């Protein structure tokens, strides 16, 4: 099979039938190229879904107060639920074994000024641990600390774009800004991978914001970070326990779904990953369909090739060629063309994915890629079936008697 004469004959056949060889190779290369690109797009979809959650910590449960829709224990429906600082303490007291941290959040929008520059920015009153919930990256200075919370200091951590808008080339650290009529000292500047909106925010101690707002102790949201080792099941169980805790404390009907709203990142992440996997399976199914189409294409071409060479094969058999040598020559030619074309298509597909990079983010495809073992496996499968595609008609041709083959027109 690997003799020099066989290879010389294969190259002579390819040289004489350039168009047929090109069509055979093109069919194989196109099939594997489309497979690689489509499979890469599927991975790009998964990347997009993962990036959606990577901006924030993935082990947090956020509670939002709502409005009751059912009466309960003497309380009428339509009652607005409120959170306060005692809720934070009660959560830490009752669920210490499951928690990493608890942080409140108060959200406001204030006109913020520095010298002649001003703009409206989202201002959040938070605790120091909020930095971990948002994955806030400090560029310079520091984040809020416990002393800021205890002393209710007028300190602020501003986003990178807030500094750019208000300070230009000037360093914001140590300067004072007017936030809604109150003067705050800038102690830190942060960046956030979540995008421009995330970097146009200002963080201040939540106790300071409560002091400014008539010295109340209300908070808008409560963020609970659970220990990652709890896993998905543990996170769902903790969510249920916390929901029951809040409903009992706030006198909310257990069946009232509007008294408190909950966002569990663990649940959302799992659902999104499941959706992404389904989408990838669909894309992979279509991609494998292109490989099947390539196999069918090469099969049809090889059937035509063998039929075209029936007279030639008859002459070879008349001159003493064995059926085995006839089969091996055709089979080797088929495998050779399939291998070269398959590898070429695979490399071109990988190169296309590499060149796309972030250009398809508007179509929810981020950094499309394909694992090399997957690409090689698909190529090997195509090569194997390419060999089978050549073997079946070759075997049929090898059975034809020389006299019958020589009569073929």
Q: What is the pLDDT of residue 70?
A: 93
Between CA 114 and CA 104 the distance in angstroms is: 28
Q: What is the CA radius of gyration of the chain?
A: 34
Q: What is the pLDDT of residue 68?
A: 94
Q: What is the pLDDT of residue 295?
A: 73
Provide mean pLDDT across the span 212-238: 90
Whether residue 228 is predicted with pLDDT greater than 90 in this model: the reply is: no
pLDDT tens digits for range 82-109: 999 999 999 999 999 999 999 999 999 9
Whether residue 183 is predicted with pLDDT greater than 90 in this model: the reply is: yes
Provide mean pLDDT across the span 317-341: 75
Between CA 205 and CA 185 the distance in angstroms is: 12
| Least-confidence region, from 29-38, 54-63, 242-251, 345-354 | 54-63
Q: What's the first-to-final CA gap in the chain, in angstroms?
A: 29
% of the chain surpassing 70 pLDDT: 86
Q: What is the pLDDT of residue 402?
A: 62
Q: Which of 47, 67, 139, 143 is nearest to 103 (CA)?
A: 143
The string of DSSP codes covering 287-310 is HHHHHHHHHHHHHHHHHHHHHHTH
Provide mean pLDDT across the span 127-136: 92
Q: How confident is the model at residue 170 (pLDDT cuts 50, 70, 90)?
A: very high
Between CA 76 and CA 264 the distance in angstroms is: 28
Between CA 313 and CA 405 the distance in angstroms is: 7
Whether residue 53 is predicted with pLDDT greater than 60 in this model: the reply is: no
Per the CB < 8 A criterion, the answer to whether 27 and 338 are in contact is no
Q: What is the pLDDT of residue 407?
A: 59
Whether residue 28 is predicted with pLDDT greater than 90 in this model: the reply is: no
Q: How confident is the model at residue 201 (pLDDT cuts 50, 70, 90)?
A: very high
Whether residue 373 is predicted with pLDDT greater than 80 in this model: the reply is: yes
The angle subtended at Cα 282 by Cα 280 and Cα 286, nearest 5°, is 115
Q: What is the pLDDT of residue 141?
A: 96
Q: What is the pLDDT of residue 405?
A: 53
Between CA 83 and CA 221 the distance in angstroms is: 7
Provide mean pLDDT across the span 8-31: 76
Q: How confident is the model at residue 173 (pLDDT cuts 50, 70, 90)?
A: very high
Cβ count near 51 (within 10 Å): 14
Q: What is the pLDDT of residue 51?
A: 67
Provide mean pLDDT across the span 373-386: 84
What does pLDDT average to over the chain?
Answer: 84
Provide mean pLDDT across the span 324-331: 73
Provide mean pLDDT across the span 118-139: 94
Q: What is the pLDDT of residue 311?
A: 66
Q: Which of 131, 27, 68 is nearest to 341 (CA)?
A: 27
pLDDT tens digits for range 230-258: 888 888 999 999 999 999 999 999 999 99
Whether residue 123 is predicted with pLDDT greater than 90 in this model: the reply is: yes
Q: What is the pLDDT of residue 185?
A: 97
Between CA 175 and CA 328 the distance in angstroms is: 83
Domain boundaries, the chain: 4-53+271-406, 104-225
Q: Where are the alpha helices (DSSP H) in 55-191?
A: 85-94, 130-134, 146-151, 160-167
Q: What is the pLDDT of residue 397?
A: 67
Q: What is the pLDDT of residue 96?
A: 92
Whether residue 401 is predicted with pLDDT greater than 70 in this model: the reply is: no
Whether residue 167 is predicted with pLDDT greater than 80 in this model: the reply is: yes
């Amino acid at each position: 099979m690997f003799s020099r004469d066989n290879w010389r004959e294969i190259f002579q056949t390819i040289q004489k039938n350039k168009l047929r060889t090109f069509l055979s190779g093109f069919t194989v290369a196109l099939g594997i190229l489309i497979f690689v690109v489509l499979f890469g797009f599927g991975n790009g979809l998964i990347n997009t879904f993962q990036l959606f959650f990577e901006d924030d910590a993935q082990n947090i449960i956020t509670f939002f107060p709502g409005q009751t829709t059912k009466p309960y224990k003497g309380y009428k429906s339509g009652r607005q639920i409120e959170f306060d600082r005692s809720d934070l303490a009660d959560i830490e007291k009752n669920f210490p074994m499951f928690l990493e941290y608890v942080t409140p959040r108060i959200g406001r929008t204030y006109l913020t000024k520095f010298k002649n520059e001003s703009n409206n920015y989202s201002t959040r009153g938070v605790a120091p641990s909020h930095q971990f919930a948002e994955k806030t990256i400090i560029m310079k200075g520091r984040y809020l600390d416990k002393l800021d919370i205890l002393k209710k200091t007028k300190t602020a951590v501003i986003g990178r774009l807030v500094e750019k808008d208000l300070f230009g080339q000037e360093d914001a650290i140590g300067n004072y800004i007017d936030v809604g009529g109150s003067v705050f000292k800038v102690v830190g500047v942060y960046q956030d991978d979540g995008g421009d909106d995330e970097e146009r925010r200002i963080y201040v101690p939540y106790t300071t914001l409560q002091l400014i707002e008539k010295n109340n102790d209300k908070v808008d949201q409560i963020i609970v970070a659970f220990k990652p080792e709890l896993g998905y099941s543990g996170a769902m169980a903790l969510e249920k326990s916390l929901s029951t805790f809040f409903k009992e404390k706030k006198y909310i009907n257990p069946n009232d779904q509007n008294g408190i709203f909950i966002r569990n990142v663990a649940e959302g992440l799992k659902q999104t990953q499941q959706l992404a996997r389904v989408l990838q399976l669909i894309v992979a199914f279509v991609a494998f369909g292109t490989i099947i189409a390539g196999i069918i294409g090469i099969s049809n071409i090889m059937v035509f090739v063998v039929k075209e060479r029936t007279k030639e094969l008859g002459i070879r058999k008349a001159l003493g060629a064995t059926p085995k040598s006839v089969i091996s020559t055709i089979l080797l030619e088929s495998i050779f063309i399939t291998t070269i074309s398959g590898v070429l298509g695979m490399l071109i597909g990988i190169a296309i994915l590499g060149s796309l990079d972030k250009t398809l983010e508007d179509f929810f495809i981020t950094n499309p890629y394909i694992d090399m073992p997957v690409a090689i496996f698909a190529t090997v499968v195509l090569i194997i079936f390419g060999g089978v595609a050549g073997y079946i008609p070759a075997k049929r041709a090898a059975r034809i008697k020389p006299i019958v083959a020589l009569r073929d027109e």
